[in-house]
Amino acid sequence: MAFDPQTAHSIATAKVFMVGAGGIGCELLKNLLLTGFRDIQLIDLDTIEVSNLNRQFLFRSEHVGKPKAEIAAQSGLELCPEAKITFYHESVIQAKFNVKFFSQFDLVLNALDNAAARSHVNRMCLAADRPLIESGSSGYLGNCKAIFKGKTECFDCQPPAPQKTFPGCTIRNTPSEPIHCIVWAKHLFNQLFGEADPDQDVSPNTADPSLLVDGQNGTGHHNGAPHQNGSSPTGIASTVAISTREQAVSCGYNAITLFEKLFRDDIAYLLSMEKLWEKRRKPVVLDVQAILREPQAILQEPQPLDSDRSNGDGGSTAGDHEDKRVWGIGENARVFIRSVRGLKASLEKLGNLVWDKDDEVAMDFVTAVANLRSSCFGIATLSRYDIKQMAGNIIAAVASTNAIVAGFIICNAVQVLRGNQSGCYNIITRMFRDAVPATAPKRRIRTTGVSRLDVPRPGCVSCSERVEIGIKLRIASITVKEFEEKVVKGYLKMSAPDVELDDASGKIIISSDDAGEGKNRDKPLAFFGIQDGTRLKCEDSLLDDYEVTVTLHNDDHLAEDTLFLPLDAHVEGELAQPTVEPFEQAKGIKRKLEEEILTPGMSGNKRVALLASNSDAASEPNGNGNGLSEDVIDMSHRF
Amino acid sequence: MDIQAEEHMQTDATTEVGLNGSENGKENVELAPVNPDRFRATNLYDRQIRLWGWEAQQRLMRSRLLMYGMNGVGAEVLKNLMLGGIKEITIVDDALVQEADLSTNFFVRREDFGQNRATASKGRAQLLSAACALTAVQGNVNILTEEWVRGYDLVVINGVSLTEAVRIGKVCRELRVPLFVSQVVGFHAFYVNDLNGLTFEVPPLGGEKPAGSGPKPKPKIIIDDDEDMPSTSRGRPTEAQVVCTDQAEESAPQSAQLEITVPDLASILTEDCARRSGLASPMPKRGGLKRIDPYLNMELILTFAAQKGRYPQYQYMEEDLKVLDHILGMIRPEGDTRVVEPNEFLRPDANFTCAIFGGTMAQEIITVLTRRGYPIFNLFYLAALDAMGSREYLQ
């Protein structure tokens, strides 16, 4: 035992809750047990994937497909039979894990991979007044810090890195980069094989503002106005969404017919919207029959690989990376046909599918579709490897970084149990493998950046005492759904909100019982008699007494792509300008990172912002399905 | 086109896919998911291939490692390298499993008490990767002679005496096999390595951003020591050189070569070397936190080790603390404010020290095996509880 008897005793009797049993979680569970922790509860809703096995060492190949929480607990008990380990294979964002549940622990340890769950656990710990240690890793970077309610900065005090967003029109009408086609391909997957989301329409959009904006000569922006085939920016698009699916059903998912609809007819339709192509390169239609008639190019074109040391001890170690080859158009078409058939079969067998980057057929489909669409628009096609990176928002991950982070978590945890708050640090670690110092190798280079914990940010929506906020928005047009998703859940970070008028009527606007199914969700706020100056009471039903009063200020002059603006100088910039470099914002925040260990041009707090929202630890997809989470691509700022 | 014609088309397409597709035709007929081998290397190691590239991954999968000492650091290094996909590891140890190992080496259990630490670790370690040829050998560090070391791509030595470290340093240098020597000292740990003569592919000077408008990279850039360095080191010839390999005149180079020239272990594992290098280094800045200086700590530890023939140990807490305080009084310059806490040395090995230190060392071993990236040479020092990890260049 490395500590004095008193510390050792607090460690042995401490009750800890570990949220996430993935990359950091596996290392952390081992460290907790070896350090002497004996009462551990852990939660993770994920199952084990092949690609986890390079670092999540509590899992082995025979465990693939099994729950991480269960196998981690099992391996933990094998390592230390005298420990008490309880596991939950489910989401932590649930009413059963309430404030009372959190209150039973001496310490909560986050080993998560997504901002939504991090933020939720942060809230629960604040409500239960329990210390939380937050951590994350991404490639060679890792960080770890402790959070004490009211004394130190909480998770939400740092503005989140803005999500990458693409206007709906770019996706549907005028893609110009591979990512636009990849987003479109994922939307198409959902339209054809998954839960159709009206926000993810894939058909040409006749309400494209660029049809209107430059229309000074006033020629018809509805040129060729095609009946129902369009959706308004307010999201009333269900007819179209159904119609894409319906068309697929009506042709029995015939891959050739679908190909012709998607890459010939729809493109031809877009071409008919001439206004779009006045300043853009015109797309071309694809002729599937011509493509399939073309003789196949040689499929396995060898990649140039390292020629050194080919000393023939190969086996599985030698050879190409098969996914790094860029397919020709013929191969894309064939993979499209093959994957449509495969997915059709799965759909018939299993019902609606959820897109998953680790599902080979689903990944083939997105690769082929994205490349075919890119071919239409003259955009470079990419390899399956690269498309997987973007579509799955894959974060590089390696065992060593997680081991280091999990070690530092223990350092902080021990100080928490000793009651030594000043011994807790905000730690950033990195390897400088890919970062030669800007000038030349120096005599001394820190591999660890460490600073004292910051004080809470005044006005933080999570940890400040203030419960009154003001928000500017367009009351006449913002829908209840948008208000709930973007303001109450997104900005106020409530998991299961109840919202009512703060007046004698107490009229309910949003109810957590409805779970997003309320019938008036597509109505604008004005429909409920809400006007400039109306106050709304927002409560999170998962938290005992977390209530925020929001005063609504009507502002019809908000920028077109801005849904709302908080009347809070600290946060304004971040929400008003979602496209701002995340690092630029983080710069403005005071932080005492005392050692510049990092590559010049990328300081410590930038990296914190980078890590905070998304990193390798454990999955908590929050109901969005693997890879399709809102972390990846948020479509909120349509138009 | 009528439906029949379309179906016909589809049949044609099927045939073609079946005949020419990269996957076998049978799966197409059955419409089963195409799934060649879920556990193939490109899948299994995908997340790290996206970090260091496929070429580096292949090099790692061809590498052979020899490691002495299955203490906590040995266990962490073994785990991280096996997970990474290394081809072969031989572990050697003569220690027997005891109580203290249970809190650092997670490959051993209570029922292994009294058994050899290497052979007891092998079974559970092997479960991490069936692809890795793992051999456990019962033996003292002194069996690691030239015949033993020959053929390995890298040697790791954990927790041996100064004398043994120097001996193995000599063997490895002659064979030009890179070497890491690690020592855990309570909550602190350090490694020294000998990468002499190795060449690394590194990003060009100027960092990650291509310096389009910046000054052209010079063909040879001598390492620029810290500006605020005391004058004693000015004019000293620096030994590592960075040479840009890209021949293009105007465009920024894609990568550069770093060739390492360092003194041997015998000269850097002396207290003199630590003192010299410490005097030549800027005082540590820690923004109000403890100003822990690796060099002064190293000098203290190495002086102790040279005098006593062993490193400080918690079992001899009182005795060692006296000696350490005495040495510190002798070596510390007048008015020096650097923080040294000898009682931090006198702790049993802690798991978190091993995790942080072993994680760092494993990563560096991978850097060296793959020759890609900028390695941490030739001293890495960690004060775990203070979260102070630092690379120092000993000359």
CATH superfamily of B46-196+349-392: NAD(P)-binding Rossmann-like Domain (3.40.50.720)
Q: B369: how many CB neighbours lie within 10 A of its CB?
A: 23
Specify the range with the lowest mean pLDDT, choosing from A89-93, A135-139, A224-228, B249-253: A224-228
pLDDT in tens, A398-413: 999 999 999 999 999 9
A80 assigned to active site = no
Asked if A360 has any chain B CB less than 8 Å from its own CB, the reply is yes
Residues A240 and A278 in one domain: yes
d(CA A377, CA A267): 9
d(CA B122, CA B127): 9
Amino acid at A218: G
Check A443 against B281: CB less than 8 A apart: yes
- Give the CA dihedral B78, A619, A142, A77, nearest 10 degrees: -40
Mean pLDDT of chain B: 80
The whole-angstrom distance between A347's CA and the closest CA on chain B is 12
In chain B the beta strands, taken as DSSP E runs, fall at: 64-68, 88-93, 133-138, 154-158, 179-185, 188-194, 199-202, 220-222, 241-244, 256-259, 379-383, 388-392
Check A342 against B366: CB less than 8 A apart: no
What CATH number is given to the structural domain containing A56? Answer: 3.40.50.720
Check B351 against A410: CB less than 8 A apart: yes
**Which domain, by its residues, includes A440?**
5-161+396-452
d(CA A631, CA B390): 34
Q: What is the pLDDT of residue B214?
A: 35
pLDDT in tens, B290-304: 888 899 999 999 999
pLDDT in tens, A240-266: 444 788 889 989 999 999 999 999 999
Check A403 against B80: CB less than 8 A apart: yes
What CATH number is given to the structural domain containing A487? Answer: 3.10.290.20
d(CA B382, CA B360): 10
Tokens 């390592």 appear where? Answer: A79
Residues A34 and A146 in one domain: yes
Q: What is the pLDDT of residue A112?
A: 94
Q: What is the pLDDT of residue A482?
A: 87
Q: A444: how many CB neighbours lie within 10 A of its CB?
A: 20
Check A2 against B34: CB less than 8 A apart: no
- pLDDT at A94 exceeding the cut of 50: yes
Specify the range with the lowest mean pLDDT, choosing from A67-81, A499-513, B133-147: A499-513
Q: Using an 8 Å CB-CB cutoff, list chain B residues near A404.
A: 355-356, 359-360
Residues A406 and A497 in one domain: no
Supply B211's token pair. Answer: 């310096």
Residues A153 and A201 in one domain: no
- pLDDT at A601 exceeding the cut of 70: no
pLDDT in tens, B243-277: 433 333 344 557 788 888 889 999 999 888 888 88
Helix (H) or strand (E) holding B75: helix B72-84
> What is the residue extent of each domain of chain B?
8-37, 46-196+349-392, 199-259, 267-345
Long-range contacts of A170-175 (CB under 8 A, 24+ apart): A171/A202, A171/A635, A172/A201, A172/A202, A172/A203, A172/A204, A172/A205, A172/A208, A173/A204, A173/A205, A173/A208, A173/A210, A173/A270, A173/A273, A173/A276, A174/A208, A174/A210, A174/A276, A174/A280, A175/A373, A175/A374, A175/A377, A175/A379
Residues A504 and A403 in one domain: no
Q: Using an 8 Å CB-CB cutoff, list chain B residues near A442.
A: 223-226, 393
Check B76 against A321: CB less than 8 A apart: no
Helix (H) or strand (E) holding A450: strand A448-452
A460 is in an annotated binding site: yes
d(CA A505, CA A349): 49
Residues A89 and A180 in one domain: no
Q: What ipTM describes this predicted complex?
A: 0.83
Check B389 against A447: CB less than 8 A apart: yes
Domain count, chain A: 3
Query: What percentage of chain A has pLDDT greater than the value 90?
Result: 44
Supply A449's token pair. Answer: 């950046």
Q: Using an 8 Å CB-CB cutoff, list chain B residues near A599.
A: 207-208
A55 is in an annotated binding site: yes
Q: With bands split at pLDDT 50, 70 and 90, how would you rate the model's confidence at A469?
A: confident
Concatenating the DSSP letter of every residue in A181-230 gives HHHHHHHHHHHHHS---GGG--S--TT-THHHHT-TT---TTTT--TT--
Selected residue of A251, A411, A443, A599 to mutate for chain B interface (largest B Cβ count, 10 A):
A443
Helix (H) or strand (E) holding A169: helix A168-172
Q: Using an 8 Å CB-CB cutoff, list chain A residues near B288.
A: 452, 592, 594
- Contact predicate A532/A552, CB 8 Å: yes
Asked if A34 has any chain B CB less than 8 Å from its own CB, the reply is yes
Question: How are strands ordered across the β-sheet holding A107-110?
Answer: A84-88, A39-43, A15-19, A107-110, A132-138, A141-147, A425-429, A448-452
Q: Looking at per-residue confidence, does A366 or B378 come out higher?
A: A366
Mean pLDDT of B278-284: 78
d(CA A188, CA A541): 35
A20 is in an annotated binding site: yes
d(CA A213, CA B223): 57
Q: What is the pLDDT of residue A358?
A: 86
d(CA A462, CA A493): 8
Phi/psi for A634 (5° steps) reads: -105, 125
Q: With bands split at pLDDT 50, 70 and 90, how would you rate the model's confidence at A583?
A: very low
The whole-angstrom distance between B174's CA and the closest CA on chain A is 21
DSSP secondary-structure letter at A456? P
Most confidently modeled of A191-195, A616-620, B222-226?
A191-195
Asked if A600 has any chain B CB less than 8 Å from its own CB, the reply is yes
Which residues are within 8 A (CB) of A104 and not within 5 positions of it... i.e. 6 or more apart?
A15
d(CA A273, CA A4): 76
A275 is in an annotated binding site: no
Which residues are within 8 A (CB) of A300 and not within 5 positions of it... i.e. 6 or more apart?
A320, A325, B22
- pLDDT at A590 exceeding the cut of 80: no
Specify the range with the lowest mean pLDDT, choosing from A47-51, A362-366, A628-632, B181-185: A628-632
Residues A489 and A367 in one domain: no
Query: What percentage of chain A has pLDDT greater than the value 70?
Result: 76
Q: What is the pLDDT of residue A225?
A: 36
Q: With bands split at pLDDT 50, 70 and 90, how would you rate the model's confidence at A204?
A: confident
Mean pLDDT of A32-49: 96
Asked if A64 has any chain B CB less than 8 Å from its own CB, the reply is yes
Give, in degrees to the nearest 5, the angle at Cα A203 between A200 and A209.
Answer: 85
The whole-angstrom distance between A562's CA and the closest CA on chain B is 32
Mean pLDDT of chain A: 78
Supply A454's token pair. Answer: 């910051």
Q: With bands split at pLDDT 50, 70 and 90, how would you rate the model's confidence at B12?
A: very low
Q: What is the pLDDT of residue B222?
A: 29
Residues A191 and A152 in one domain: no
The whole-angstrom distance between A50's CA and the closest CA on chain B is 6
A351 is in an annotated binding site: no
Q: How far is CA B252 from the centre of its chain?
A: 30
Mean pLDDT of B112-122: 96
Let me know how many helices (H) and strands (E) chain B has, helices first. 14, 12
Question: Of A26, A80, A169, A181, which one is the catalytic site residue?
Answer: A169
Window 385-424 of A, Cβ < 8 Å to B: 389, 394-404, 406-408, 410-411, 414-415, 423
Mean pLDDT of B196-213: 64
d(CA A333, CA A329): 6
Residues A182 and A61 in one domain: no
Residues A404 and A493 in one domain: no
Q: What is the pLDDT of residue B35?
A: 52
The whole-angstrom distance between B54's CA and the closest CA on chain A is 7
Question: How are strands ordered across the β-sheet holding A547-554?
Answer: A508-510, A497-501, A535-540, A547-554, A468-473, A564-566
Residues A425 and A517 in one domain: no
Residues A293 and A365 in one domain: yes
Window 315-344 of A, Cβ < 8 Å to B: 316-318, 321-324, 331, 334-335, 337-338, 341-342, 344
Supply A408's token pair. Answer: 């530092």
In B, minimum Cα distance to A61 occurs at B39
d(CA B241, CA B238): 8
- Contact predicate B67/B158, CB 8 Å: yes
A424 is in an annotated binding site: no
Q: What is the pLDDT of residue A449?
A: 83
| Number of residues that this document lists for chain A | 639
d(CA A443, CA A445): 7
pLDDT in tens, B343-379: 999 999 999 999 999 999 999 999 999 998 888 888 9
The whole-angstrom distance between B335's CA and the closest CA on chain A is 22
- Contact predicate A276/A173, CB 8 Å: yes
Tokens 């998560």 appear where? Answer: A112
| Number of residues that this document lists for chain B | 395
Q: With bands split at pLDDT 50, 70 and 90, how would you rate the model's confidence at A470?
A: confident
- Boundary (domain end) residue, out of A452, A476, A493: A452
Check A410 against B47: CB less than 8 A apart: no
